Amino acid sequence: MFPSKLYTPLLLSLLALIVTALCALLLGRYEISIHELSTFIATLLGLSDMPAQRYDLLHSLIIEARLPRVVAAVLVGAGLSVSGAAYQGVFRNPLVSPGLLGVLSGCAFGAALGIIWHLPPLAIALVACMTGLIAVAVGLGIAHMFESPSILLLVLGGIVANALFTSLLSIAQYMADPVDQLPSIVYWLLGSLSAVDVQALWIIGPILGVAIVLLCLTGRAIDALSLSDDEALSLGVPVEQIRGGLIVLTTLICALTVSLAGMVGWIGLLIPHLARLLVGPGNTRLLPLSACLGGIFLLAADGVARSVSAGEIPLGIITELFGAIAFVLVLHRVRKGWL
Amino acid sequence: MKRLQARQLSYRIGDRLILDNVCLDIKAGDNIALLGANGAGKSTLMKLLLGLLTPHAGEVLIDGQPMGSMKRRAVARQIAYVPQSHVPSFPFSVAHIVGQGRLPNVGLSHAPSRDDQTYVQQALTDLGILHLSERPYTELSGGERQLVLIARAMVQRANIIILDEPVTGLDYGHQLRLLALLKRLAAQGISLLSSTHRPEHALASANRVLVLHEGRLIADGAPHDVIDSALMARLYQVAVEQIDTDGHRFFIPC
């Protein structure tokens, strides 16, 4: 509960995130040197000067082509990680990931629908986001059908919502045109930042950014929820309201990340554990650190995804592959903590 | 002074009456043992007194004010709860767990102050567990965890502490030290209510005994007036021989 003076890990990780993001701007088929990037940024800020033609080239490369992707990577990575950390605290279970209540399957179904209906990218993103929220609402509704919803009932409601929307997704895939639509759905489900729609990013990005910052500030509330319900209540904490609010905020973040980048797996489970290894279980520091590390991880994974081969490997494959391997290492270190 | 009053409390689950018309009041310095067989309604009564359950009839008053009309944080500043210890999922430090006892006073939106940290250090020192301060709560023994939860209740600075079977799972030494600690707290004017399955503990350390039997409060008085072989037979359906020597009372199974 007492935030110790040790904010150092947070500042370091924030610094690392910025450095990684700058490196990601350098990365791509057209090489940009560090010197060029710094001159460009200085010019952009009006501190320096460079030839107009060169400036225009760099502007289209960096600002128009690479920056949206980098911003999206940071937001999606941070969003999924901080959501995962929050869910693990709220549900008092270190094995929980953000998909617990059905938001991801809901989003996947919505995106498949959008693709079948030939909607434009922005509309697909919005439909995906909506169905993600609906899926969680269904799960919560099922939990509320019985008395006051315990964590167990919430989880069971989530299982039902997950099953329901996974089957709806299967129906959508079954009905999709196998030549044209099915591959798009499958590719979308693999997760990728290559197709980040700038228009969608303009709308979704700010909301997502604000939601992530808000969630990062709820550490003390999540700490209080990690007690049993009775204990938290007897300490004056309005458990149900806080849990409800956190679930809404987290669901919104997850739905928005999926609508930007599709299904990017494993981050929400892996990164919080990594962060907990560094700063311990206190959520006031764990949440912001998870966000930073998540951003770094996804930037790195995206860097690998686009530079390993001439074509592009879907991001979801990279995160799952590296995530799974990294998780084993984390488990090895963390073993005595909670296993 | 009546700090906590229960008026005609009834609680049912479905058609089953768990508590039937229970009336009691808790005064400053009371060190109450709550006796009753499994399923007699002890836990339900404690949860009602803590405001964790809402009675189907009757009400609970804190300093004369109906609990139902009070904010949860205001209730938490008056009554602390020491549950049976369980191992949480995450290895929070002992200082962190105890620090959460400041929540009713500090709230969720503010960071705890230096004063709050001092309370935590003070409680840990009083209980002789300051050396555990930075240890993960998950790695402690059952007895140590129980002490940590009591420390949390102490930093809550509530006048009333309700303890759910505080000695359960503790070794002999920890049990006796814990009972002595409860006596000390009561001597400082804190009101205590502990549920227990050990009549001999109630005799040795409590100054008042409440007995629940099938949802009704059947006795309320000084331990030696209430606890005898007849009560043992009625509550637990066992025959015991009662031995009184030098003001001490023992039971031997016969």
Which tens digit of pLDDT belongs to each residue from B81-117?
999 988 888 899 999 999 999 999 988 888 888 889 9
CA A51 to chain centre: 39
Provide the shortest C-alpha distance from residue A272 to chain B (in Å).
12
- Is residue B122 assigned to a domain? no
Q: Which chain B residues are Cβ-neighbours of A237 within 8 angstroms?
A: 72, 103, 108
Which tens digit of pLDDT belongs to each residue from A84-117?
999 999 999 888 888 899 999 999 999 999 999 9
Q: How many helices (H) and strands (E) does chain A have?
A: 15, 0
Which tens digit of pLDDT belongs to each residue from B195-233?
999 999 999 899 999 999 999 999 999 999 999 999 999
- Is residue B47 assigned to a domain? yes
Provide the shortest C-alpha distance from residue B135 to chain A (in Å).
12
- Is residue B175 assigned to a domain? yes
Where does residue A237 rank: exposed (0-12), middle (13-18), buried (19+ CB within 10 A)? buried
The residues of chain B scoring below 50 in pLDDT are none
B47 touches chain A (CB under 8 A): yes
- Is residue B240 assigned to a domain? yes
CA A312 to chain centre: 20
Query: Chain A residue with minimal CA distance to B110?
Result: A220
- Is residue B72 assigned to a domain? yes
Q: Contact, B219 vs B226, CB < 8 A?
A: yes
Domain count, chain B: 1
- Is residue B25 assigned to a domain? yes
How many CA atoms lie less than 13 Å away from B167 in the CB half-sphere?
Answer: 25
Selected from 3.40.980.10, 2.40.50.100, 3.40.50.300, 1.10.3470.10, the CATH number assigned to the domain covering A31-338 reads 1.10.3470.10
Query: Chain B residue with minimal CA distance to A339?
Result: B89
Q: Which two tokens stand for residue A10?
A: 């947070």
Question: What's the domain range around B211?
Answer: 2-83+159-253
- Is residue B196 assigned to a domain? yes
Out of A228, A238, A282, the one facing B83 most closely (by C-beta) is A228
pLDDT value at residue A5: 52
Q: Contact, A253 vs A211, CB < 8 A?
A: yes
pLDDT value at residue A8: 83
d(CA B224, CA B203): 7
Query: Chain A residue with minimal CA distance to B97?
Result: A1
Q: What is the pTM of this model?
A: 0.89
Provide the shortest C-alpha distance from residue B224 to chain A (in Å).
32
Query: Domain-by-domain residue ranges, chain A?
Result: 31-338
CATH of the domain at B36: 3.40.50.300
What ipTM, to 2 d.p.?
A: 0.91
Which tens digit of pLDDT belongs to each residue from A149-160?
788 888 999 999
* Helix, strand, coil share (%) of chain A residues, nearest 5: 80, 0, 20
> Is A227 within 8 Å of B88 when comparing Cβ atoms?
yes
Out of A89, A94, A235, the one facing B100 most closely (by C-beta) is A235
Mean pLDDT lowest among A115-119, A189-193, A331-335, B142-146: A331-335
Q: Which chain A residues are Cβ-neighbours of B73 within 8 angstroms?
A: 236
Q: Which chain B residues are Cβ-neighbours of A92 within 8 angstroms?
A: 88-90
Provide the shortest C-alpha distance from residue A332 to chain B (in Å).
16
Give the sign of the dihedral formed by CA B90, CA A226, CA B102, CA A215: positive
* Helix, strand, coil share (%) of chain B residues, nearest 5: 40, 30, 30
Give A249-275 as a DSSP string: HHHHHHHHHHHHH----SHHHHHHHHH
> Is A234 within 8 Å of B102 when comparing Cβ atoms?
no
